[in-house]
Amino acid sequence: MIIYLKKIIFVFFIVLFVTIINSSIASAGAVLSDLENQLMCKCDDKCGKVLINCTCSTADKNRKKFTKMLESGLTVDQIVQQQIEKYGETVLSAPTKNGFNLTAWVIPFGAIMIGGIGIRKLINGWVGKNKPDIELQNIKGGIASEPGSEKPSEASSSKYSRRLKDELDRLET
Amino acid sequence: MNDIGEFTLMIALATSLYGTVAYVMAARGNRIDLYLSADKVPLITWACIMISSIALWKAFFTNDFSLQYVYAYSNIELDYFYKFSSFWGGQKGSLLFWALILTSYMMVVHIQNRSKNLIVVPYAMAVMLAITCFFLFLLNFSTNPFERIPLPPEDGRGLNPLLQNYWMVIHPPTLYLGYVGFTVPFAFAMAALISKNLDDAWIRLTRKWTVVSWFFLCMGNLFGASWAYVELGWGGYWAWDPVENAAFMPLIVATAYLHSVMIQEKKDMMKVWNMSLILLTFVMTIFGTFITRSGLIQSVHTFDEATLGYYFLGLLFFIIAVCTALIISRLPLLKSKNELDSFLSREAGFLFNNLLLLGIAFATFWGTIFPIISEAIRGVKITVGPPFYNQVNVPIGLALLALIGIGPIIAWRKATWSNLKKNFLKPLMFALIGGAILFPVVPLSNRSEIYTYIAFILCIFVLSSMLIEFYKGTMARYASSETYLGALGSLIWNNKRRYGGYTVHIGVVMIYAGIAASSSYGIHTEKRLKIGETIEIRDYMLRYEKLAAIQATSVKTRIIAQLAVEKDGKKIWTARPEKEFYKGQNQPVSEVDVRSTLASDLYVILADFSEDESATIKVYHNPMVKWLWTGGWIIALGTMVCAWPDRLEQRRRLERLKLQKIVFSPAQE
């Protein structure tokens, strides 16, 4: 049952991931916003804001200029390229996804994956270490109680362990 | 008074230096005489800094422009309200303000603990005093707020118009209360390491400090967002500016600490991890200060005279080196007594919650420093702005949201199949039904909208799991209570930490929902209007009525546009966005007008105007922004419940320890 559930969840997330990756970022009406999102404001005050967030007069002028450029048939990529040629990479609001800049995008997810694997190994190690102890206790208990001892039956033992588990579940859940 | 202010700063430095040494010597040599002597230091230091602060405030209120700092951040026309807040408007005053809060906290810690735990407390006081010494050293020798101008000018330069907003009185102090507050748990953690008292005593002593500091930091971030929303006039509230990041990172790390510390309290585990997290939280607060004051990273928040970067960098490295050495040297003592029993347990949930929180903090840190790395390695300066943070942090944030729902309802130790079915079935059903209802309603045309849809489903899942917990608890108590409300009250009152925490989670869910909706479904429009013309957005129609100019003060002129807002043919509101022009300032300041409801905000900006009274009006329709601020107040309520004094807590703790002994001892033997 659990394996079946895991498979369903896995397939669900794969489908979701592919859907998200394939979805287009900008609709036709949001082309200017998309462009404004990709570029920084280059005013004399060095405000450090993304163009879409900036309200200074330089930003307003640039917006008008970009609107005209888009109306003249230039694409967002072409305008962005022009801006890079004029100001350098610093005009982009985010690192490009190639070359050295790719590390900016990959490293956070890489770190989380490594951390996740580490936690999984850690927990597996702990769980694995605890299991033999419990088994050993069961064996010891079995040997000690063999001749004439009052060893609880398997059914009653599992009944009590279920009850203990239930009570622990209820305790501070 | 200025001389007195300057003099008391010197006295404060000398006293705190003495106090640091005396506390350490008293603790090491078991010298009662030294301890009694050092015992007076917190009060003297606090009093000295308070006198200095009063002297600076007096200089602001009396327009004493002989002080360079007052000249730079005030003028005669400035409202008294803003003269008060100009105190922390610049670097010098903000450092004095930091020292004032730190010593005030130190006083409270001193009063709370003077007769308690004489092994740990002296070291904690020494650590706090040492940090105070650092700030006092800067204030005395590098950035003195009492620096004079030989020929005092008649008027000052005035406060930056962007800072002339009521949030200036609220946001920085709230943020500072949070930043500085983490000095207390950090100092106690260091004291525990130095004195080798590494049980959970230091955590219990500082738990409320941690909760309250976290609360202030959280509210400080929200207030900052609220300020940006009403003042910067771009329709948003968060721009991932390096200084915003600097306030966000300690909040995230502190959240991880607040959760993982529960495992140490309940299971005596993760001691090294908790030590590392509180160290990291404190380091992040210093890192934030370093960013603001170094000018190394371009930010809208950077102080004009950002000259102290190297001092803070030095402090940062010193703290990291000392703390790491201490933790390594105490590793055998920090070994956990217990271990996890299962992958499917609340403890494991906490570990993954920590992983994701630290993942977000790391991604933010990485993005903040990446321009420096790029410049150092490639020689190319690049910018890392909102698109990066949104693309990286949103998926991690969604996974975290799922864990917010899973964590509180999964069993401690080991979740059985029946436990999972019992606790998860209903929330999952609610989430799926909610998702199915929303599916035909919400747009799903781009990545952002798909993320928002997922966020809504997860919000329903978390909210339903929390509300079911409240419902179950209330119904269980209803038998012994007359009313449902009484049962709910008694449930919360007797389990403050648990249900206070759940309330905080509900607030967080509201914030998630608000961010998701406003960042995906927001639309805006812009139009040049003549008097009588209209602009439309969603169901609203805005009719431009008039443009007025008001000379507010001799340095400030307000240009106000008036628009009648109609919905379904009925007038529902009058919008009055304005532009403020300040003498001597190149850029005018936009004062937006917002009509805020739980469903959406109508956000109106006067973008431009001309002499023929035509004006460019920009209107944003931002859905569910109010959920953010409401979520903040719910977090405040939850934190208040969590931090409320609890007489039953000690008894519960003893019972838990007793139970732990019974339950865990056989497995360890």
Does the distance separating the beta carbons of B608 and A108 come in below 8 Å?
A: no
Q: Does residue B445 fall inside a structural domain?
A: yes
* pLDDT, tens digit (0-9, with 9 covering 90-100), for B70-108: 998 888 888 888 889 899 888 889 899 999 999 999 999
Q: Does residue B637 fall inside a structural domain?
A: yes
Instruction: Read off φ and ψ for residue B626, nearest 5 degrees.
Output: -65, -20
In this structure, are B609 and B644 located in the same domain? no
Q: Does residue B276 fall inside a structural domain?
A: no
Q: Does residue B140 fall inside a structural domain?
A: yes
Does the distance separating the beta carbons of B383 and A90 come in below 8 Å?
A: yes
* Beta carbons of B190 and B124 less than 8 angstroms apart: yes
Which of chain B's residues have a Cβ under 8 Å away from the Cβ of A104?
A: 366-367, 370, 374, 384, 388
**Helix, strand, coil: what percent of chain B each, to 5?**
65, 10, 25
Domains of chain A by residue range: 28-94, 100-145
By the CB < 8 Å criterion, does B181 face chain A?
no
In this structure, are B487 and B556 located in the same domain? no
Looking at per-residue pLDDT, the higher value among B114 and A155 belongs to B114
Note the pTM of the prediction, 2 decimals.
Answer: 0.86
* Beta carbons of B273 and B260 less than 8 angstroms apart: yes
Q: Is the pLDDT of residue B42 over 80?
A: yes
Cβ-based neighbours of B575, under 8 Å, separated by 6 or more: B542, B561, B562, B563, B565, B593, B595, B602, B604
Residue in the block written with tokens 């379904």: B568
Q: What is the ipTM of this complex?
A: 0.82
Q: Can you tell me the distance from the alpha carbon of B488 to that of B475, in angstroms, rounded to the nearest whole number?
A: 8
Q: How many CB atoms lie within 10 A of CB B642?
A: 24
Q: Is the pLDDT of residue B397 over 90?
A: yes
Range of the domain at B613: 523-625
Q: DSSP string spanning B264-279?
A: HHHHS--HHHHHHHHH
Strands (E), B177-271: none
In this structure, are B640 and B567 located in the same domain? no
Does the distance separating the beta carbons of B232 and A53 come in below 8 Å?
A: yes
In this structure, are B64 and B151 located in the same domain? yes
Instruction: Read off φ and ψ for residue B525, nearest 5 degrees.
Output: -145, 160
By the CB < 8 Å criterion, does A4 face chain B?
no
Helix (H) or strand (E) holding B24, with range, is helix B2-29
Residues 93-132 of A with CB under 8 A from B: 93-95, 100-101, 104-105, 107-109, 111-112, 115-116, 119-120, 122-124, 126-127, 129-130
Does the distance separating the beta carbons of A53 and B388 come in below 8 Å?
A: no
Tell me how many domains chain B contains: 3
* pLDDT, tens digit (0-9, with 9 covering 90-100), for B263-322: 888 777 888 889 999 999 999 998 888 887 766 665 555 555 556 778 888 899 999 999
Residues 426-485 of B with CB under 8 A from A: 444-448, 450-451, 454
Q: Rank A117-131, B212-226, B401-415 by mean pLDDT and report only the highest.
A: B212-226
Q: Which pair of tokens denotes residue B80?
A: 């008294």
Task: Please tell me the predicted confidence (pLDDT) of residue B632.
Answer: 94
Q: Can you tell me the distance from the alpha carbon of A159 to that of B145, in angstroms, rounded to the nearest whole number?
A: 73
Cβ-based neighbours of B570, under 8 Å, separated by 6 or more: none
In this structure, are B516 and B532 located in the same domain? no
Residues 320-349 of B with CB under 8 A from A: 339-343, 346, 348
* pLDDT, tens digit (0-9, with 9 covering 90-100), for B182-191: 999 999 999 9
In this structure, are B52 and B153 located in the same domain? yes
Looking at per-residue pLDDT, the higher value among A77 and B252 belongs to B252
In this structure, are B616 and B516 located in the same domain? no
* Beta carbons of B498 and B470 less than 8 angstroms apart: no
In this structure, are B47 and B123 located in the same domain? yes
In this structure, are B574 and B584 located in the same domain? yes
* pLDDT, tens digit (0-9, with 9 covering 90-100), for B329-371: 988 888 877 677 777 888 888 899 999 999 999 999 999 989 8
Q: Is the pLDDT of residue A25 over 60?
A: no
Helix (H) or strand (E) holding B29, with range, is helix B2-29
In this structure, are B3 and B132 located in the same domain? yes
Q: Does residue B196 fall inside a structural domain?
A: no
- The CATH label, of 3.30.390, 1.10.8, 2.60.40, 1.10.357, for the domain at A28-94 is 1.10.8
Q: How many CB atoms lie within 10 A of CB A119?
A: 17
Look at residues A76, A89, A86, A75 and name the one whose alpha carbon lies nearest to residue A37.
A76
Q: How far is CA B585 from CA A4, B181, B606, in A?
A: 66, 36, 18
Q: Can you tell me the distance from the alpha carbon of B333 to that of B155, in angstroms, rounded to the nearest whole number?
A: 61
Task: Please tell me the predicted confidence (pLDDT) of residue B649.
Answer: 66
Q: Is the pLDDT of residue B60 over 90?
A: yes
Helix (H) or strand (E) holding B134, with range, is helix B120-141
* pLDDT, tens digit (0-9, with 9 covering 90-100), for A72-107: 888 888 888 888 888 888 888 889 888 899 999 999
Q: Can you tell me the distance from the alpha carbon of A36 to that of A50, in angstroms, rounded to the nearest whole number?
A: 7
- Among B159, B192, B213, residue at a domain's last position: B159
Task: Please tell me the predicted confidence (pLDDT) of residue A152.
Answer: 52
Q: Can you tell me the distance from the alpha carbon of A158 to that of A172, in angstroms, rounded to the nearest whole number?
A: 23
If DSSP codes are grouped into helix, strand and coil, which group holds residue B530? coil
Q: Is the pLDDT of residue B608 over 90?
A: no
Q: How many CB atoms lie within 10 A of CB B306?
A: 16
Does the distance separating the beta carbons of B423 and A108 come in below 8 Å?
A: no
Q: Does residue B371 fall inside a structural domain?
A: no
Task: Please tell me the predicted confidence (pLDDT) of residue B669.
Answer: 33
Which of chain A's residues have a Cβ under 8 Å away from the Cβ of B665?
A: none
In this structure, are B431 and B568 located in the same domain? no
In single-letter form, the type of residue at position B356 comes to: L
By the CB < 8 Å criterion, does A53 face chain B?
yes
Q: Does residue B260 fall inside a structural domain?
A: no
Look at residues B20, B561, B320, B412 and name the one whose alpha carbon lies nearest to residue A171.
B412
Q: Does residue B503 fall inside a structural domain?
A: yes
In this structure, are B55 and B83 located in the same domain? yes
- Among B159, B181, B206, residue at a domain's last position: B159
- Among B144, B159, B174, residue at a domain's last position: B159
Does the distance separating the beta carbons of A171 and B659 come in below 8 Å?
A: yes
Instruction: Read off φ and ψ for residue B44, nearest 5 degrees.
Output: -65, -45
By the CB < 8 Å criterion, does A43 face chain B?
no
Q: Which pair of tokens denotes residue B444?
A: 């799903």
